[in-house]
Structure 1
Amino acid sequence: MSNSYAQPILRTTDLSAALQVVEQLLRIADLQNLEVDFEAIISSNCTLASVQKVLPDAEWWTREDERDGSSADGDDPSAHLPIVLRSTDTPEAVEPFLAAVADSPATVRWDFNAWPEAPEIGLGRGGARGAFVTLCVNVRDLDLKEPAPDHTVFVHVKQIEAMRAPWLAAQVGLHVIGDLVMAPD
């Protein structure tokens, strides 16, 4: 199994504008087998409680190596803040999750069957580890390491089909705004 590669196509302080771009991209995608993955760095009990209401079965673990703790061990997450919290849920959980994380660094990744054909650049349907959209909120990178006052939309493609990223951006009236980077699993 290989990683996808991601390229940013929008950076904005307007979360609703970022979600609109995601929706436009999803309209051209083959959404068969759609899954939505959620990840956040949680640093406060208030945010933790809000996120747990939206994603009650989320896995979590400590972010810092010296402070062991995880949902797998049955630990209390509030005793181990800051934590990384991750879950998979339905698309209906996206907006409640974004409201719950408030200003915490977080990502939402839509994983689906395939991108459409792009005959003008010589590409057929694109899928199998290369058909994702990620919205990074309050952070600039997919690894949740660069806090930011804005939000970034990334399109994911196979490395061998890197030219699909600018093509996808053009389909929603945008262009790529950064480098193609290997996405985390």
Structure 2
Amino acid sequence: MSNSHAVPILRTADLAVALRAVDGLLGIADLRDLEIDYTAVISSPDALKALTELVPYATWFACDDDGSSKPGDDPSAYLPIHWRALAEEPETVPRFLEVLNGTPATVRWDFMGWPAAPEAGLGTGGARGAFVTLCVNVHDLELNEPADDYMVYVHVKQFEAERAPWLAAQIGLRVIGEGVQAPY
């Protein structure tokens, strides 16, 4: 499986605006098999506690070379940590966003595919490369560029890169930066 081509389409200080863009994209997507993936870089014990209560079975690894994520290890002893939860239910998103409290994180909606984009010469897109990501308190998918606002990325197959501007236009937006290979 190859990684998707992620293209930024919105940067905003308003979470509600970012979520409306996400909802608009999800409104045209084939949402069969919809699930949510989370990533975060957790630096505070409070954020770790809140996220662990929300998703107790998430995986983690330390940001430095001395870290561990073996069963039984205490992640609070290794802060900051990279934290990841996969295949969550969509209903968990509001609570996840609520408990972040400044923690850099991403929410990725993973679904069956994109609609046909006849104006771009593309048929229906399959599950590979069909995602939407909301970056919270960070601008990049790798969680390296802290920010006080939000970014929305649309993911497509790299060989169908022309689908990204078409998707953005469907919800009244446009591409605002270069596409990147998504980390997973």
Aligned to 2:79: 81
Deviation at residue 129 of structure 1 after TM alignment: 1.7
Aligned to 1:157: 156
Aligned to 2:176: 177
73-82 or 104-113, larger mean C-alpha shift: 73-82
Distance 2:53 2:91 in 1: 14
Identity %: 60
Gaps of 5+ in 1: none
Give runs of aligned pairs for residues 37-116 of structure 1, distance below 5 A: 37-65=37-65, 67-70=66-69, 72-88=70-86, 89-116=88-115
Matched position secondary structure for 2:176: coil
Compute the TM-score of the two structures, normalised by the length of structure 1: 0.96
Matched position secondary structure for 1:128: coil
Corresponding pairs, count = 183
Distance 2:153 2:16 in 1: 15
Distance 1:73 1:91 in 2: 27
- What amino acid does structure 2 have at the position aligned with 1:47? A
Which deviations, in whole Å up to 9, do the C-alpha atoms of 1:50-83 show, x marking residues without a partner? 1111111111110111x2221x332011111101
Distance 1:121 1:29 in 2: 16
1:34 and 2:51 are equivalent in the alignment: no
Deviation at residue 128 of structure 1 after TM alignment: 3.4
Aligned to 1:18: 18
Deviation at residue 2 of structure 1 after TM alignment: 1.0
Matched position secondary structure for 1:64: coil
Compute the TM-score of the two structures, normalised by the length of structure 2: 0.97
Distance 2:67 2:40 in 1: 18
Matched position secondary structure for 2:73: coil
Distance 1:174 1:155 in 2: 11
Query: After TM superposition, which residue ranges in structure 1, 4 or more long, deviate above 6 angstroms?
Result: none
Gaps of 5+ in 2: none
1:4 and 2:1 are equivalent in the alignment: no
Aligned to 2:116: 117
Deviation at residue 160 of structure 1 after TM alignment: 0.8
Deviation at residue 108 of structure 1 after TM alignment: 0.4
Distance 2:107 2:72 in 1: 25
Distance 1:24 1:102 in 2: 25
